[in-house]
């Protein structure tokens, strides 16, 4: 009996691992090499190009050839050009600027809308002085739309002895036929050395007009002329009935200085002197310049009612 128990203990001894128990450590299996088929990949690209890209390219080529050669897309007469936004610019001016061979009834006339360089034609239309900007669009099948934005005149300008209209950028414009404008005459633009300086002088005048454009007429005075020769001194010729007076406004505070001028008028009327000009550029005082043949005229101090003489 004891011998049998000893044999069982020897069989279940912890020193020997169970042969049927799985090891907790797994062996790394050998990776299986996958052989890529490079030939198949190349053929896939060939099939893709041949089945998709090539037909698309051929279709695009045929479509482009059709668009460039079909008579459906040809401008044949001036009626095929639509022009909008013109008032002072004539339609003939726009057509001449485009330079298209548009002659109704001529077998060889016409211009394909897809062969036109819209950018080049836009620049040609904008070469017209009255045109500020232009936009060109193709209207299929065979029309061209030209949208024009004209310049807006703001005054007359005396440049080199010739009076023309002028816009806010200082661009000189010929007066259109059968048109009427009531603007002051600006001088001094010919003193500008470049277009930037001319625009800056026009900006000074436009700011003056913005501040006093309605206030001066309400006071009974009108601006007849404006001199921009000195960019720091806008000088105007004010007219009221038979009275004409030159006023120096400087380059800022136009509303305040005009109010100072109005407050000075009673003193000027009392003096009965002929006044050549009034200078409002100095702080808290007004300088009055009499005519050379007149006696010295008083100048009223805007802040302290102090009288100065020159």
Mean pLDDT, to the nearest integer, of 100-106?
Answer: 66
- How much of the chain exceeds pLDDT 70, in percent? 69
Is residue 188 within 8 Å of residue 229, measured between CB atoms? yes
What confidence tens digit (pLDDT) does each residue in 18-36 have? Answer: 555 555 555 555 555 555 5
Q: How confident is the model at residue 301 (pLDDT cuts 50, 70, 90)?
A: very low
Whether this model's pTM surpasses 0.85:
no
Q: Is the pLDDT of residue 50 over 80?
A: no
* Mean predicted confidence (pLDDT) in 96-115: 76
> What is d(CA 80, CA 143) in angstroms, rounded to the nearest whole number?
5
Whether the per-residue pLDDT at 145 is higher than 60: the answer is yes
How far apart, in whole angstroms, are the C-alpha atoms of residue 112 and residue 291? 70
Top-confidence range, 97-101, 144-148, 213-217, 272-276: 144-148
Residues 190, 170: contact at Cβ < 8 Å?
no
Which residue segments constitute the domains of the chain, with CATH numbers given? 72-150 (3.10.20.310), 153-309 (3.40.50.11690)
Between 68 and 146, the more confident residue is: 146
Of the pLDDT bands very low, low, confident and very high (cuts 50, 70, 90), residue 270 is confident
Angle (deg, nearest 10), helices 195-212 and 254-271: 70
Q: In sequence order, what are the residues at sequence separation of 6 or more whose Cβ sits closer than 8 angstroms to the Cβ of residue 271?
A: 297, 298
| pLDDT given for residue 310 in this prediction | 38
| pLDDT tens, position by position, 273-293 | 788 899 999 887 888 888 765
pLDDT at 298: 46
Average pLDDT of the segment spanning 168-183: 93
Least confident of 13-17, 40-44, 224-228, 250-254: 13-17
The pLDDT, as a whole number, for residue 309 is: 38
pLDDT band at 144 (very low <50, low <70, confident <90, very high): very high
pLDDT at position 297, please? Answer: 42
Among the residue ranges 42-46, 126-130, 182-186, 201-205, the one predicted with the least confidence is 42-46
Question: What average pLDDT does the segment 75-104 reach?
Answer: 90
Mean pLDDT of the chain: 81
CA-to-CA distance for 230 and 195, rounded, in angstroms?
16
More confident residue, 233 or 297: 233
* Percentage, residues of the chain above pLDDT 90: 52
pLDDT level of residue 307 (50, 70, 90 thresholds): very low
Sheet holding 153-159, edge to edge: 172-173, 162-167, 153-159, 185-187, 222-230, 233-240, 243-248, 275-279, 287-290
């Amino acid at each position: 009996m004891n011998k049998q128990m000893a044999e069982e203990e020897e069989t279940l001894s912890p020193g020997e691992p169970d042969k049927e128990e799985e090891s907790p450590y797994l062996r790394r299996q050998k990776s299986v090499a996958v052989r890529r088929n490079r030939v198949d990949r190349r053929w896939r690209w060939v099939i893709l190009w041949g089945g998709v890209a090539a037909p698309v390219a051929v279709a695009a080529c045929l479509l482009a050839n059709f668009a460039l050669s079909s008579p459906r897309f040809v401008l044949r007469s001036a009626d095929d050009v639509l022009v909008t936004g013109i008032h002072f610019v004539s339609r003939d001016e726009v057509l001449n600027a485009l330079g298209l061979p548009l002659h109704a009834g001529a077998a060889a006339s016409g211009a394909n809308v897809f062969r036109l360089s819209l950018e080049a034609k836009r620049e040609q239309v904008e070469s017209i002085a009255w045109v500020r900007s232009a936009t060109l669009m193709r209207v299929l099948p065979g029309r061209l739309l030209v949208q024009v934005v004209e310049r807006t005149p703001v005054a007359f300008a005396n440049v080199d002895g010739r009076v023309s209209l002028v816009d806010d950028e200082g661009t000189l414009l010929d007066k259109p036929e059968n048109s009427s404008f009531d603007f002051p005459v600006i001088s001094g633009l010919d003193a500008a050395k470049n277009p930037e300086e001319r625009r800056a002088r026009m900006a000074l005048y436009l700011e003056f007009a913005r501040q006093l454009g309605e206030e001066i007429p309400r006071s009974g005075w009108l601006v007849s002329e404006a001199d921009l020769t000195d960019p720091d001194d806008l000088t105007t010729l004010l007219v009221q009935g038979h009275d004409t007076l030159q006023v120096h406004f400087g380059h800022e505070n136009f509303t305040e200085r005009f109010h100072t001028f109005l407050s000075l008028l009673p003193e000027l009327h009392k003096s009965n002197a002929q006044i050549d000009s009034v200078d409002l550029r100095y702080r808290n005082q007004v300088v009055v310049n009499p005519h050379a043949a007149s006696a010295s005229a008083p100048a009223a101090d805007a802040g302290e009612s102090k009288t100065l003489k020159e």
